Amino acid sequence: MDWCAGSARHPPVAPDPRPARHAGVAALLAAEELDALLVTSLPNIRYLTGFSGSAGLLLVHPGDQLLVTDFRYQEQAEAEVDGAARVVVERTSAWERLFREAGGSSVGTVGFEAHALSAKDAERLGVLGKGWHWRAAPELVERLRVRKSAAEVAAIRAAAQLAAAALAATLADVRVGQTEQQIAGALEAQLRRLGSENHPFPTIVASGPRTAWPHARTSGRVVARGEWLLLDFGAQVDGYCADITRTVLVGARATDAQRALYELVRTAQRAAREHIRAGMPARDADALARDLIEARGFGEAFGHSLGHGLGLEVHEAPRLSRINVEPLPLDAVVTIEPGIYLAGQGGVRLEDDVHLAADGPVLLSDGATDLLELS
């Protein structure tokens, strides 16, 4: 038997993406006439180094990267970074250590992430780094993150599959008389049981008239017969997020009005997820669903954008908004989530995750949007 490279028993190991990401930042630094970038956004630090801790500062030069963290992450940082950056562990002040480590070098003009830096930390730049020339930088690392690699897409797909399995297991036990909090607890337990690393955002479970609140907080409200139940939740695999919303009916068959409303949202969502394309202006993608909803007289009841980017964070670029004229990037992963919300009555939202591949949209979540009427 030929045990050549690439055998099914020995799949090729994917190359480490971090050197290419570092090179990408270096190219952006040159274009922006910056000598270095101070990265304080934790998702950006993870993207460039692999470090997943909750405290860290990363100084990126074209030729190297310096990560400063604290004692809690001494072993974790070394293991996760694994040579992608020089790791320094500081027991007192990470900020002071950063400037001590880098202060002797010719730093030049250093960009900082104004969108991710607190006012308190900005003061530190002027005090501890007073000898450096600081400049607010555009969202450089985010420019790279918007285009997903095959491995990133695979992680989001795995998270979406996990989320679908958790939902199915949860809905099998949903009954009239349960509270929203009980249902949310069961769903979150299933997500963890199936391997979700975290809940990327607070799970939304809303029922009855509260489904008209697009971002309702899960409450102690008891679910009654014949009501909508909206579940908006996520899963996380290898740091990458899935974001899913399903709306179901509990304890009864849908009325004609409920069915008509649901089918309108379902038709709009399917049209958008099937016809969205990389290169399309974001507002045109939004219109794929919005035009259908507006044509039926519900335009004012669809008050948010069609969706958003997805990756290491549950809300990333691009934004699929009616006012965003920018073209959608190739290989972005986005949510498609139109909704109709009728105050005092209830609402319906359906959300799936889609990869904007070169040859068209690829559905990463299960797309299971047929109306479910739970007994």
Do 69 and 93 meet the contact criterion of CB atoms below 8 Å apart? no
User: pLDDT tier at 104 (50, 70, 90 boundaries)?
Assistant: low
Are 111 and 201 members of one domain? no
Are 139 and 160 members of one domain? no
Class of residue 122 by CB neighbours under 10 A (exposed 0-12, middle 13-18, buried 19+): middle
Range of the domain at 319: 150-374
3-state secondary structure of 195: coil
Are 154 and 135 members of one domain? no
- Residue that terminates a domain, selected from 145, 160, 188: 145
Q: Which amino acid is at 124?
A: R
Structure tokens at 55: 């405290």
With respect to residue 64, please indicate whether it lies within any of the assigned structural domains.
Answer: yes
With respect to residue 262, please indicate whether it lies within any of the assigned structural domains.
Answer: yes
Where is mean pLDDT largest: 124-128, 135-139, 306-310? Answer: 306-310
pLDDT digits (tens, 9 = 90+) for 93-103: 999 999 888 87
With respect to residue 303, please indicate whether it lies within any of the assigned structural domains.
Answer: yes
- Residue that terminates a domain, selected from 145, 174, 197: 145
Instruction: Kindly report the CATH number assigned to the domain that includes residue 245.
Output: 3.90.230.10
With respect to residue 5, please indicate whether it lies within any of the assigned structural domains.
Answer: no
With respect to residue 300, please indicate whether it lies within any of the assigned structural domains.
Answer: yes
At 108 the pLDDT is 85
pLDDT digits (tens, 9 = 90+) for 142-170: 999 999 999 999 999 999 999 999 999 99
At 129 the pLDDT is 82
pTM score of the predicted model: 0.93
At 107 the pLDDT is 65
Are 172 and 264 members of one domain? yes
How many structural domains are present in the chain? 2
Structure tokens at 122: 């900005």
Structure tokens at 227: 């009501």
Average pLDDT, the chain: 94
Are 65 and 214 members of one domain? no
